[in-house]
Amino acid sequence: MAGLHVGFALRRPSPATAIEAIVELESAGIETAWSTGGGVGGDTLTLFGAAAPRTSRILLGTSIVPTYPRHPTVLASQALIVEGLAPGRLRLGIGPSHRPTMVDSYGLDMGRPLAHLREYLTVLRALLWEGRADFDGTYLHVHAPLPSEAPPPQTPLPISALRVGAFRLAGEIADGAISWMCPVPYLVDQARPALAAGAQAAGRARPPLIGHVPVALHADRNAVRAAAQAQLSTYGRLPFYAGMFSDAGYPVASDGTMPDTLFDELVVSGDADAVAQRLSAIQAAGVDELLVTHVPVDDRTAEEAALVGLLGRLAQH
């Protein structure tokens, strides 16, 4: 069994415990510590800046930084600090987030999310890869250089992707496509070809397909399904996800209820051997990299510790 390319999604109640968790992930041999979350919460890049001096190898990934609330020049300035503290270890994932958050909660106008993301990524890449942005688009007008003291860090810039158009955009101009809640057959049969088509149209190599996979290290499938429904059922009520589920062959009910078969497809579960075999099969099927989110069932602390240990062993196999 070849070593897995695997990262782990952090969710901790305080900065101190989050930093300790990143240190532990590095010790376990995990490739990337990803920070996920939504709404108003602690800033991921600030957290990574604090964690950087405590670590030396682990990559630090955002999954994702929402684009609408933060101007790309502000995000670039934050990225420069993390790059200075952890050179070459930041993976700056960005994406538009969702209308219920951006529009209903924040009062922002999303317009056309993919068009906005294209402009945002164009500006951010110009700043972080070339050292200067000179751009006039529909949503953004930016004419600004980076400070000249150091060369641009060329930070990898993956984007979130749910539907085929976003995967194609990632292939065209991003440094990876980060999925979430996407069934594996959908990733292999629809997302990966769209990613490749975008790259081919742009005359560049296909960037990695990063599959964000919920995992429960628990052998009772009924208990896993109940836990998954409790923790993940809200996604069926979000229009972007509902559309993707329909594309993948798992249409949700009119009230957003997700079918049991979808939870069974999405959540990898079982004992250590079963989880290892399933994750290896997902990578072998064409998902280049795995981003694992833990789905606790009975004992969050014990199950997560066991899962991190397993992932570390699989990464180093």
What is the full per-residue pLDDT of the chain (317 aa) written as tens digits? 458 999 999 988 899 999 999 999 999 999 999 998 666 778 999 999 999 999 999 999 999 999 988 999 999 999 999 999 999 999 999 998 766 677 767 787 778 999 999 999 999 999 999 999 999 999 999 999 998 777 999 999 999 999 999 999 999 999 999 999 999 999 999 999 999 999 999 999 999 999 999 999 999 999 999 999 999 999 999 888 999 999 999 999 999 999 999 999 999 999 999 999 999 999 999 999 999 999 999 999 999 999 999 999 999 86
For residue 253, how many other CB atoms are within 10 A of its CB?
10
Smallest CA-to-CA distance from 62 within 42, 34, 41 is with 34
- What pLDDT, on a 0 to 100 scale, did the predictor assign at position 191? 98
- Distance (Å, whole) CA 127 – CA 125: 5
According to DSSP, residue 92 is labeled: E
- What pLDDT, on a 0 to 100 scale, did the predictor assign at position 38? 65
- Distance (Å, whole) CA 175 – CA 289: 13
- Greatest pairwise CA separation for the chain in angstroms: 58
Smallest CA-to-CA distance from 214 within 197, 229, 194 is with 229
- What pLDDT, on a 0 to 100 scale, did the predictor assign at position 243? 92
Contact 292, 211 (CB under 8 A): no
- What pLDDT, on a 0 to 100 scale, did the predictor assign at position 1? 46
Token pair 């992707």 is at which residue?
161
- What pLDDT, on a 0 to 100 scale, did the predictor assign at position 97? 79
- Distance (Å, whole) CA 92 – CA 129: 13
Helix (H) or strand (E) holding 9: strand 6-10
In which domain, by residue range, is 44 found? 6-316
- What pLDDT, on a 0 to 100 scale, did the predictor assign at position 165? 96
- Distance (Å, whole) CA 87 – CA 31: 15
On whether residue 240 sits in a domain, the answer given is: yes
Q: For residue 198, give both structure tokens.
A: 């975008």
On whether residue 254 sits in a domain, the answer given is: yes
Contact 61, 91 (CB under 8 A): yes
Report how many domains make up the chain. 1
Q: For residue 209, give both structure tokens.
A: 């397909």
Q: What is the pLDDT of residues 241-268, one digit of tens each?
A: 999 999 999 999 999 999 999 999 999 9
On whether residue 83 sits in a domain, the answer given is: yes
Q: What is the pLDDT of residues 81-93, one digit of tens each?
A: 999 999 999 999 9
On whether residue 94 sits in a domain, the answer given is: yes
Smallest CA-to-CA distance from 162 within 216, 238, 228, 104 is with 238
- Distance (Å, whole) CA 127 – CA 138: 18
Q: What is the pLDDT of residues 61-85, one digit of tens each?
A: 999 999 988 999 999 999 999 999 9
Contact 114, 174 (CB under 8 A): no
Smallest CA-to-CA distance from 59 within 84, 90, 35, 36 is with 90
* pTM of the predicted model as reported, rounded to 2 decimal places: 0.94
- For 161, residues 6+ apart whose C-beta sits below 8 A from its C-beta are 95, 167, 169, 170, 177, 178, 179, 191, 195
On whether residue 32 sits in a domain, the answer given is: yes
CATH, residue 158: 3.20.20.30
- What pLDDT, on a 0 to 100 scale, did the predictor assign at position 30? 96
For residue 119, how many other CB atoms are within 10 A of its CB?
20
On whether residue 1 sits in a domain, the answer given is: no
Contact 116, 110 (CB under 8 A): yes
